[in-house]
Structure 1
Amino acid sequence: MSTESTSSPGTPGRPYGFMLSRRWIGFALFVIILAGVCGRLGLWQLHRLEHRLDRNKVIEKHLKADPVPLDAALPRTATVDEDSEWTRVTVTGRFDASKVVTVKFATRDGAPGVDVVTPLVLGDGTALLVDRGWVETENNVRKPTDLPPVPSGDVTVTGWLRPDNGAGSDAVKVFDGQVRAISSKAQEEYVGMPLRHGYLDLLKQEPSATGSLAPEPEPERGQGPHFFYALQWWFFALLAVVGYFYFARVEEKERKHGKPRTARPAKDLEPAGS
């Protein structure tokens, strides 16, 4: 006599009981960690936005202030920090034409060019690197030879204080009279005398310079993309949580409404010829 049994659809027990399984508990832990990381990254972007807005206020204050003597803003042993960067200063000295360095790959509006950096020798035996401006050049790695002449004699320059670039040694070390980024610490040996920290973006000088070097434009003071990046990270966090419950609902429906499976008759399971 053959017997026939059927398995009931779904999973016995309370709804969504499967979520207490190891697989779903592991899934939940993963979602919690992922959402937490995305949430923290969103807060980090907001902190960056706040920092940028604070920096904009400092920049605006410096741009509106009258120039001050170099020693008042940057004493001999001081460093250019976030509070002193973009301070307008005036200083008098003599340019050292034998130590001109160009900053290669300094493009502007898509045009290739270089920044021309020259040490300004001061009366106290130190020197200050001065970015005299930008000039368009050929798009290659060779140092240009037709740079505007270096002014001779005493000059009084006015410009913005800037900190050393934090690039690696390969970028700031002088090679063939060129660098990729400006660093007073890296160029001190090349200049051959103590350098004040950072450098000066030249705005004007007296007597006026000859040549066509373009001064550094004012710093960009927008908010940047940080707020929208924060929204994106928070959206990813929300998506992870919603996705978790969505997949749980899908699996619950499959378990609840799945087709029942009918067991084969017992006689069909007997070996042939028995």
Structure 2
Amino acid sequence: MKGWRFVVNLRWAAYLAVTVLFAVACGLLSNWQFDRREQALAEIRKVTENWDREPVPLEQVLPTVDSFDDDQKWTPVELRGSYLTDEQVLARNRPFNGRPGFEVLTPLQLDDGSVFVVDRGWLPVGNEQDYPDDVPAPPVGEVDVVVRLKPGEPVLPGRLAPDGQIATVHLPKIAETLDAPLYSEAYGLLVSEDPAPDTRPLAALRPAEDEGSHLSYAFQWIVFGILGFLGLGYAIRNEYRIRNADEPEEQERARKRERKRAARAPDDAEIEDRILADR
């Protein structure tokens, strides 16, 4: 079949359909990477806007025990109360700089009777692997505390924990053991305690303000989608050359391509020079 009429058949229609589906998939993956970048930028904005703020009273930021807005993440707040040491639990499977460990969660009973969970910091696994070798005790009696707010975590199906530990910082789970209203939407990463104990778990680090490679990945998926159509065009053009090889115009194009290849090919002297240079 001469000319371009060969493309009007089911085979090339199927190739086109596959190419279109591939391009759509690439477009969806590209949008997913753009969305992930926006999420990363939103997290960076929360760090830059909230991390270094002056602490304010907890009730000024969270007027009720069930109030919290994600834009308040990392906001420093001040609390006063007494630690409920007997209700302390460990959040397991908490890596820190590549090391496995735990985070120490100690409920703090405030002067109004409500309870706020304080993450006092990180401890490495101990010799028994399933518990730290030592858990520094919190201050006894009334204490002034500064924390940075963080949202509670969901339950992860299949994640179990032994007594005295929890798989995730799921605040309603901690509330089950308390006889007082608990702030159920947010807890706090410890910044300081007054009076300060002699030792305390390792404090949380400022999150890295890095948006990652999502933008470059997004553009790569766009390029892949374009390459799919370029590949289809190349395949169509190649078959056209084969089917129309005896046409004068196509023969002339073939001769031009051959002359270009011959012009690019090194002569015997250049080949000999390269061999001598490699010795």
TM norm structure 2:
0.80
- Give the structure 1 partner of residue 178 of structure 2: 191
**Relative CO higher for 1 or 2, CA cutoff 8 Å, sep ≥ 6?**
1
Residue aligned with 1:216, SS:
coil
Decide which of 20, 45, 53 is 1:32's aligned counterpart.
20
Decide which of 132, 135, 139 is 1:147's aligned counterpart.
135
Say if 1:96 and 1:121, in contact at 8 Å, map to a contact too: yes
Counterpart of 1:35, as a letter, is: A
Greater gyration radius? 1
Say if 1:80 and 1:161, in contact at 8 Å, map to a contact too: no
- 1:189 Cα deviation (Å)? 0.4
- 1:216 Cα deviation (Å)? 0.5
Residue aligned with 1:107, SS:
coil
Work out the CA distance in 1 between the residues paired with 2:124 and 2:46.
31
Work out the CA distance in 2 between the residues paired with 1:252 and 1:79.
68
* Structure 1, unpaired ranges of 5+: 1-10, 259-274
Decide which of 77, 90, 100 is 1:89's aligned counterpart.
77
- 1:118 Cα deviation (Å)? 0.7
Overall identity of the aligned pairs, in %:
30
Say if 1:103 and 1:116, in contact at 8 Å, map to a contact too: yes
- Give the structure 1 partner of residue 37 of structure 2: 49
- 1:190 Cα deviation (Å)? 2.6
Say if 1:103 and 1:115, in contact at 8 Å, map to a contact too: yes
Residue aligned with 1:61, SS:
helix
Residue aligned with 2:143, SS:
strand
Change (3 A) 1:139 1:25: farther
Work out the CA distance in 2 between the residues paired with 1:81 and 1:26.
50
- Give the structure 2 partner of residue 219 of structure 1: 207
Alignment pair present for 1:177 and 2:188 = no
Say if 1:113 and 1:139, in contact at 8 Å, map to a contact too: no
TM norm structure 1:
0.81
Change (3 A) 1:246 1:139: farther
Residue aligned with 1:257, SS:
coil
Q: Deviations over 1:28-82 (max 9, x none)?
A: 1221122122123213322332332233223211123211111111122443332
Q: Which stretches of structure 1, 4 residues or more, deviate above 6 A after TM superposition?
A: none
The count of residues paired between Structure 1 and Structure 2 equals 245
- Give the structure 2 partner of residue 4 of structure 1: none
Counterpart of 1:108, as a letter, is: F
Which structure shows the bigger proportion of residues in helix conformation?
2
- 1:120 Cα deviation (Å)? 0.6
- 1:111 Cα deviation (Å)? 2.3
Work out the CA distance in 1 between the residues paired with 2:158 and 2:164.
13
Work out the CA distance in 1 between the residues paired with 2:40 and 2:133.
39
Alignment pair present for 1:242 and 2:230 = yes
* Structure 2, unpaired ranges of 5+: 247-279
Counterpart of 2:117, as a letter, is: L
- Give the structure 1 partner of residue 219 of structure 2: 231
Superposition pairs for residues 103-142 of structure 1, below 5 Å?
103-138=91-126, 142=130
Alignment pair present for 1:71 and 2:59 = yes
Say if 1:119 and 1:191, in contact at 8 Å, map to a contact too: no
- Give the structure 1 partner of residue 239 of structure 2: 251
Q: Deviations over 1:107-139 (max 9, x none)?
A: 222223211111111122221111001122237
Say if 1:174 and 1:187, in contact at 8 Å, map to a contact too: no
Counterpart of 2:123, as a letter, is: V
